[in-house]
A = this chain, B = another copy of it.
Amino acid sequence: MTDEKIDDVDKAILYALQEDARNMSSGDIAERTGTSDSTVRKRIQRLESDGVIKGYSASVDYQKSGYPLRMLLYCTAAIPERGDLVSDILAIDGVVSVQELVTGEQNLLVTAVGETDSDVTPVAQELLDMGLTVADEVLVRSHETTPFGKFNSKTQTGDDS
């Protein structure tokens, strides 16, 4: 709940951990920020307990791991709302992400991954069982992410070499 008190050192930490959460040590980040590793470690702990850092995750190439199908499912919640609707959707096997959209109708964007269509069909079924209407399904050909540029003090173009 202690929002907004993110200074440049915090941003540099967030950027570094977005670049490589597994191999970036506190000492490495300390060099970048001109602080000490113990300071960095304390900052990280604070960012974690404040919920600014939600976790650390490996980004997997699902295509190469044998799950070439990535699907976007646009859903409409028929029932007004339930508290843990998002959690329930995340628990569906094959779902990797849920986003609440601020459009009137299609207010949930669910991303599902699978081997074939027959993996995604039951996901859609489970969503229906929850009282959701699947308004549209879109296949994703590729998906790439990048660290957030505004956490990087040096350049604002995404290039930090």
Contact = CB atoms under 8 A, between A and B. Distances in A.
Given A14-B65, A101-B138, A145 B52 contact: no
Interface string A96-130: 11111111000001000111000100000000000
Interface string A11-24: 10010011111110
A125 to B, nearest CB: 14
Provide the main secondary structure of the chain A interface. Answer: mixed
Interface of A: 3-4, 6, 10-11, 14, 17-23, 50-67, 72, 86, 90-103, 109, 113-115, 119, 138-151, 156-159
Given A50-B64, A52-B65, A92-B158, 15 more contacts: A11-B65, A21-B58, A53-B60, A54-B59, A56-B56, A72-B101, A90-B144, A91-B159, A94-B148, A98-B144, A98-B145, A99-B141, A99-B143, A101-B141, A102-B139
